[in-house]
Amino acid sequence: MSFCWTTISQNGNILLAHKRAFCQNMRVISRKHLNDLAKRHPEAKAGLDAWFHEAEAAEWASPAEIKADYGNASILKGSRVVFNIGGNKYRLVVSINYSYSIVYVRFAGTHAEYDPINAEKI
């Protein structure tokens, strides 16, 4: 593990921003929504698997870091993020606890299934 967001004070002390002492990869909870969508739409499996592995390897500490990795992601209120999967055919809604490096998968479905939901509340 390496230190994240380190700065040096005037007297040479190392300061850690955001009270996170070490970098930590994201933990994705749970994969059930992803697997269910992949069963209904097998063509989505490769994109969902790629997103899952990229998310678990990420060290997102803010929405800006997600936007840097996924420019087409939509950042919503309440630490929610909407990812486009498979060329915008599928939508993935997650809730992120940045302090604990946890990504909660709240919804995975087709664009048509996504339209009637409230992504900020699901």
- What is the tens place of the pLDDT at every residue in 59-98? 999 999 999 999 999 999 999 999 999 988 999 999 999 9
User: Is a pLDDT exceeding 70 seen at residue 15?
Assistant: no
Tell me the mean pLDDT in the region 5-15.
47
Q: Is residue 5 part of a domain?
A: no
Q: Give the CATH number, domain containing residue 109.
A: 3.30.2310.20
Helix (H) or strand (E) holding 14: strand 14-16
Q: Which residues contact 61 (CB under 8 A, 6 or more apart)?
A: 4, 5, 18, 20, 98
- How many separate domains does the chain show? 1
* Residue with token string 């390897």: 57
Q: What letter represents residue 115's amino acid?
A: D
Q: Which of these, 19, 26, 57, 51, lies nearest to 37 by C-alpha position?
A: 51
1 belongs to a structural domain? no
Task: Domain of residue 105: give its range.
Answer: 25-114
Would you place residue 16 in the very low, low, confident or very high pLDDT band (cuts 50, 70, 90)? very low
- The verdict on residue 12 lying in a domain is no
